[in-house]
Amino acid sequence: MDEQSEKGTTSNPPSTPAADSRRRFRRRALFGLFAGVAGALGLAAWSRAHGGHGWRCGAAHRALDAEEAADRLGYMSERMLSHVNASVEQKAKVADVTKAALKELWPLREQHRAARTRAVELLAQPSIDREALEQLRATQLQLADAASRRVTQALADAAEVLTPEQRSQLAERWKWRMG
């Protein structure tokens, strides 16, 4: 036996309150990390088992059909207008504006989706057809420009339905929501 073991001493120095505190903190932090990860994984598994898509809300991450999109747009418009005390007539006029815009924008959305599918097909070919890709890019820009013009028109039409005070209130709300 060596001298240290005979005397009952070990090579570890005596612990100090500060060292003990650090060890306890590390253990608690590690336990908290494991508990958080386990909880998150459990929540994701539960959500997936009950029809969800993990962290994402199912309805927000799937393609909506035209009717669902109209309902969602109507709900958002109604909610936005309720914050500025819009009258029933104003809400009805804005609803008409949004429905008309959606009716015109929906085919553009479908064209955009078809173009994305075509882009994947072009890029999967053995040889890259740069001319076809450029044509597709130009078409996508035209679709985006058409959609942007229609959305701007709808926003202006809806804004004309509201009073200047209501538009100011909405602008303040948008600034607040955008941070």
Mean per-residue pLDDT, 76-105: 89
pLDDT tens readout for residues 29-43: 666 666 666 666 665
Closest to 166 measured CA to CA, from 108, 86, 46: 86
pLDDT at 44 over 90: no
Q: What is the dihedral of CA 167, 172, 175, 179, to 10 degrees?
A: -150
Q: Say if residue 76's pLDDT is above 80.
A: yes
